[in-house]
Amino acid sequence: MVTKSDYVGLEPAWCPGCGNFGILKALNSALIELKIEPHEVLLVSGIGQAGKLPHYTRGNVFNSLHGRPVPPAIGAKIANSELVVIAVSGDGDAYGEGGNHFLHAARRNHDITYLVHNNQVYGLTKGQASPTSDAGFVTKTTPDGAANPLNPIALAIVSGASFVARGYAGDTDHLASLIKKGIAHRGFSLIDILQPCVSFNHKNTYAWYKERVYELEDERYDRTDRRTALEKALEWGDKIPIGVIYKADLPVYEDQLPALSRGPLVRQRIVPRRGDRLLAEFM
Amino acid sequence: MPVDLNFVVGGEAGQGVQSVGLLLAKVFARSGYHVFADQDYESRVRGGHNFFRVRVSKDKLGAITEDVDILIALDSDSIRLHKAEMTSRGIIIFDGEKVKGVSRKKASLLSIPLEKMAEEMTGDRLMLNTVALGAALCAVGHDLAILNGVLTNHFGNGKVSNRNIVAAKAGYDYAQSRRKGTFGKIEPLSGAKRMLLTGNEAISLGAIAAGCKFMAAYPMTPASSIMEYMAAKSREFGLVMVHAEDEIAAINMAVGAAYAGVRAMTATSGSGLCLMVEGIGLSGITETPIVIIDAQRPGPAVGLPTRTEQGDLQFVLHAHHGDFPRAVLAPASIEDAFWLTVKAFNWAERYQLPVILLTDQHLASSYATIDPPDLSQVTIDRGMLFSEKQDNPSEYMRHRLTRSGISPRAFPGLGKALVVTDCDEHDEEGHLTEDPGQRTAQVQKRLRKISPLSRQTSTLEKYGSRGAETTLIGWGSTYGAIHEAVDILRKGGASVDMLHLNELWPFPKKAVIDAIRKARYSYAVESNATGQVAQLLKAETGYDVSGRILKFDGRPFTPAYIAEAVRKETG
């Protein structure tokens, strides 16, 4: 049986009240409820406060470079398709430094789950604007206000992601259910997580989100329709929807690799002599 | 008389220069001759001037030569640009109905209505290249039987092959009727069958034999054909080649796959490697074994995309910030490219570090005949692995401090051990730490791996006069050209030898110094502008070479060029 004690990691070095605590709690609950043992999961993170998350739980951990959790997560998933692979980023990591990887991982529909802690500000480097900062957001690097924000939900949908959700760090039960759905989904699952930053974002606070965030109701929202989902993705301001915004059955990259039909690459033996039959092609 | 024949096929991009050249090379390889062929092409898909050189000999060949015996000119530019290289017995084959105003100079001219004959005999004017091929074989007195087999292999059994065979015979017969007869008769040789392949193909075969299961890369000349070959063999050999969105993704994917337990590599050229630099350090600090192929081309930046240079040595020795071990290998020949690739994977896993294999456009896209590698001699050394049968998985620490600096590897998901690593400085378990003691210990642990690795690099090739007065120092793809230059110089009475390096880092200091200290003169022979191996030699040993023979026009060395440069230097 998988229990809470299986997922106790190092003591977090986050600020008291940080939205990351809610995300950590939701991730642990999701893994426990799915009965996934720590050795079956691989957490690949980037750099930023979010990047530290894997150290604060348990599992296999590859804490990667800034902006790069997605490529090594893809490499590891292809090498061992039995692993549950979860990539973890912040908004700067995912949508700034790692933007190109995000687009193409969505396009190719790799079978990984991507948790993006989106607090609309840089935390680790102390308060600069991020790609998702609201327009006009004043920071030391944007004294005249930030430019227009990028829309990760819309980008993921148009790029070809097959599971696109938005969660909120202040609602851990709902977030845990989203993470469970994302892990269970075959294909690229983005879960963009709204996360208050108590130290550097004094605009998008718990109180600010509480007034705006609402759950998408299952029976009234057709999340399998791409146009409907795109329209929903554009909703931001007085009301902010959370939940699964788009879900589709699309071809999964790993399923199209003939080499994986024989099982995980990592379990296949190396036999140099098999190459003998290639030599004749050159004679 | 020893056979040393040199063919050039020249024309515009898109005219089929490469395929005619390759078919010609295959004919002589199958005839039992040694072949060395190279491609000179522009960075364009149509037009311009491309040529393909095929050199044929009874003896082993490792370089091109400038003298042309047979020129197959598919356009008038090919005659204009190559006529000065023709030998006195040389023959220029061209379509006199298309190419006008060719003046007879040194070489004899063999004008054939190539296009008209192709049209008449096969109904397909594109067969004109094969008509020329038949004529070329006639000119050197080589029969068509082998070509017919090569054409059938190339085009498959069927109409296309048959039409090509007809076209070749037409060209052969036409040339026969106007036979100049300067080359006698070149008979097929009996003997062992050899392979004809490029450096990139040799690397790909080496990677497959070594059990590489994962490659991620982004297309870049002259490395792309490695990606293409690996992708083509992915189904049959159970490997995956990911065409990544960029070089940054490619190297990071390879590191991720290697962390998860498979042999992984990437391949690129200089400016692609610039983008990959962060991944070299990621491999270094997480101690994840990867193989990086850098097929060099002239830089900086985009430089000369389709040309050759050895300009990345100092770059790959230092690429990335911080101190950590790496290895740098540079194949000396196409055969060596196969074996060094195998070695690169073994070193990467044994020492858990990035291994860079430096080739260049010349080696990557040249063809040579080699004896088929004996794959029973390929050893697979995966280094120290953690065993859950012997040790408690709950005590596993990925970066355990050991005397050798090497920590046993476990792979995520294959057992109960949790494999934790971090590109931040980390403790033995792999969790990030800023503790000064841990930091110092981990840096020292990683650097300890260089010591056993240093004892591995000592493969030095020395060739030439005993107790030579002059030593030529080279590395990587220039081996064949320098080797032949030594022969030329010795025939002229010079006391000269060569020292060639294919393992550059860790630098084999002692072996190198032992090999050169008695020489009165030493010259670094390099395809770069500053003498990068000479700098390395100076930095590592304090030794100054007497001079540098450098070429950085993007074209490969020829033996004659090197010999002439040495004569000038030594007066």
CA of A113 to nearest chain B CA: how many angstroms apart?
Answer: 15
What is the least distance, in Å, from the CA of A60 to any CA of chain B? Answer: 5
Of B249, B376, B416, which has the smallest distance from its Cβ to A101's Cβ? Answer: B249
pLDDT in tens, B191-239: 888 999 999 999 999 999 999 999 999 999 999 999 999 999 999 999 9
3-state secondary structure of B31: coil
CB–CB contact B418 A258 (8 Å): no
- Is A271 part of any domain? yes
**pLDDT value at residue B2:** 58
In this structure, is residue B480 part of a structural domain? yes
Q: What is residue A218's predicted lDDT score, i.e. its pLDDT?
A: 80
Q: Domain for residue A1, yes or no?
A: no
A5 — pLDDT class (breaks 50, 70, 90): very high
Q: Tell me: pLDDT of B105 over 70.
A: no
Is residue B407 in some structural domain?
no
The answer, for A263 touching chain B at a CB cutoff of 8 Å, is: no
pLDDT at residue B343 in the model: 97
Same domain, B270 and B340: yes
Is-contact B361 B192, C-beta < 8 A? Answer: no
Q: Is residue B1 predicted with pLDDT exceeding 50? A: no
- Residue B239 is part of a domain; what is its CATH number? 3.40.50.970
Instruction: Name the residue in chain B with its Cα closest to that of A253.
Output: B242
**Cβ neighbours for B422, distance < 8 A, ≥ 6 positions apart:** A55, A61, A62, A63, B285, B286, B430, B431, B432
Number of domains in chain B: 3
B377, B404, B436 — which closes off a domain? B377
User: Could you read off the pLDDT of B347-382 as tens digits, one per residue?
Assistant: 999 999 999 999 999 999 999 999 999 999 999 999
Give the residue from chain B lying closest to A66, CA to CA. Answer: B423
A12, A49 Cβ separation under 8 angstroms: no
Measure the CA angle with vertex A230, ends A224 and A234; round to 5°: 140
Residue of B252, B265, B424 for testing the chain A interface, max A β-carbons within 10 Å: B252
Could you tell me if B37 and B76 lie in one domain? yes
Chain B hits for A73, CB-CB cut-off 8 Å, are 256
Residue B216 sits in the same domain as residue B154: no
Stretch (H or E) spanning A84? strand A84-90
- What's CA A114's distance to the chain center, in Å? 2
Contact B240 A62 (CB under 8 A): no
- Position B305: which residue type? P
Contact check, Cβ <8 Å, A65/B411? no
The region of weakest confidence among A82-86, A168-172, B82-86 is B82-86
* Among A260, A270, A279, beta carbon nearest to B211: A270
Please check whether residue B215 lies inside any domain of the structure. Answer: yes
- List chain B residues with CB under 8 Å of A75: 214, 216, 242, 252-260, 264
CA nearest to A248, candidates A215, A230, A225: A225
Residues 6+ apart with CB under 8 A from A40: A82, A83, A84, B413
Residue A131 structural domain = 8-282
Q: Is the pTM value of this prediction over 0.95?
A: yes
In a domain, A225, yes or no: yes
The candidate with the shortest Cα–Cα distance to A72, out of B410, B292, B255, is B255
Number of domains in chain A: 1
In a domain, A3, yes or no: no
pLDDT tens column, A206-240: 999 999 999 998 888 999 999 999 999 999 999 99
CATH code (residue A143): 3.40.50.970
Residue B129 main-chain phi, psi, to 5 deg: -65, -40
Dihedral over Cα of A28, A29, A32, A34: its sign:
negative
Do residue B376 and residue A273 have CB atoms under 8 angstroms apart?
Answer: yes
pLDDT tens sequence across B503-546? 999 999 999 999 999 999 999 999 999 999 999 999 999 999 99
Q: Cα distance from A79 to chain B (closest Cα, Å)?
A: 5
CATH number for the domain that contains residue B55: 3.40.920.10
Q: Are residues B136 and B208 in the same domain?
A: no
Q: Is residue A2 included in any domain, yes or no?
A: no
Is residue B241 classed exposed, middle or buried when 0-12, 13-18 and 19+ CB atoms within 10 A define those classes? buried
d(CA B331, CA B254): 22
B476 domain residue, yes or no? yes
**Chain A closest-CA separation from residue B320 CA (Å):** 13
Domain range for B272: 197-377
Nearest to A73 among B248, B256, B278 (CB): B256
A25 touches chain B (CB under 8 A): no
Structural domain includes residue B447: no
> What average pLDDT does the segment B383-400 reach?
97
Distance, in Å, from the CA atom of B251 to the CA atom of B259, rounded to the nearest integer, reads 12
What is the pLDDT, as a whole number, of residue B185? Answer: 84
Measure in Å the smallest separation between the Cα of A162 and chain B Cα atoms.
19
Q: Which residues of B352-382 are buried (b: 16+ CB within 10 A; e: fewer)?
A: bbbbbbbbbbbbbbbbbbbebbebeebebeb
- Examine the domain organization and report whether B236 and B173 are in the same domain: no
Order of strands across the sheet that contains B460-464: B460-464, B496-501, B470-475, B521-526, B547-550
Contact A76 B235 (CB under 8 A): no
Which of the residues A63, A84, A110 would you substitute to probe the B interface, choosing the one with the greatest number of B C-beta atoms within 10 Å? A63
Whether B444 is in a domain gets the answer: no
The whole-angstrom separation of Cα A218 and Cα B382 is 51
Q: Does residue B564 fall inside a structural domain?
A: yes
Q: Which of B234, B257, B423 sits opposite A65 (nearest CB)?
A: B423
Q: Are A76 and B257 a contacting pair at CB < 8 A?
A: yes
Closest CB to B254: pick one of A75, A266, A274: A75
Q: Which residues of chain A does B253 touch, with a Cβ-Cβ cutoff of 8 Å? A: 71-72, 74-75, 78
Tell whether B35 and B134 lie within a shared domain: yes
In this structure, the answer to whether residues B167 and B227 fall within a common structural domain is no
- Give chain B's mean pLDDT: 95
**Beta carbons within 10 angstroms of residue B344's beta carbon:** 30
- Comparing CB atoms, the residue among B214, B263, B375 nearest residue A75 is B214
Q: Which residue out of B235, B423, B424, B425 would a mutagenesis test of the A interface target, given it has the greatest number of A Cβ atoms within 10 Å? A: B423
Scan residues 68-107 of A and list those with Cβ closer than 8 Å to B: 68, 70-80, 82-83, 100-101, 103-104
Residue in A60, A80, A259 nearest the CB of B234: A259
The reply to whether B262 and B359 lie within a common domain is yes
Q: What is the pLDDT of residues B17-59, one digit of tens each?
A: 999 999 999 999 999 999 999 999 888 888 899 999 999 999 9
What band does B104 get if pLDDT is binned at 50, 70 and 90? low
Contact across the interface for A44 and B256, Cβ inside 8 Å:
yes
In a domain, B182, yes or no: no
Average confidence (pLDDT) over B443-467: 90
Do residues B314 and B535 lie in contact, with contact meaning Cβ atoms separated by under 8 Å? yes
Do residue B89 and residue B41 come from a single domain? yes
Please give the pLDDT value at position B232.
98
Position B181 confidence tier, pLDDT thresholds 50, 70, 90? low
Residue that finishes a domain, picked among B146, B177, B208: B177
Buried b (16+ CB within 10 A) or exposed e, B477-504: bbbbbbbbbbebbbeeebbbbbbbbbbb
- B464-487: average pLDDT: 97
Task: Specify whether B320 is located in the same domain as B229.
Answer: yes
For residue A61, which residues of chain B lie inside 8 Å, CB to CB? 418-422, 430-431
Q: What residues of chain A lie within 8 A of the CB of B252, using their CB?
A: 64-65, 68, 71-72, 75
Q: Are residues B132 and B223 in the same domain?
A: no
- Asked if residue B236 and residue B167 are part of one domain, the reply reads no
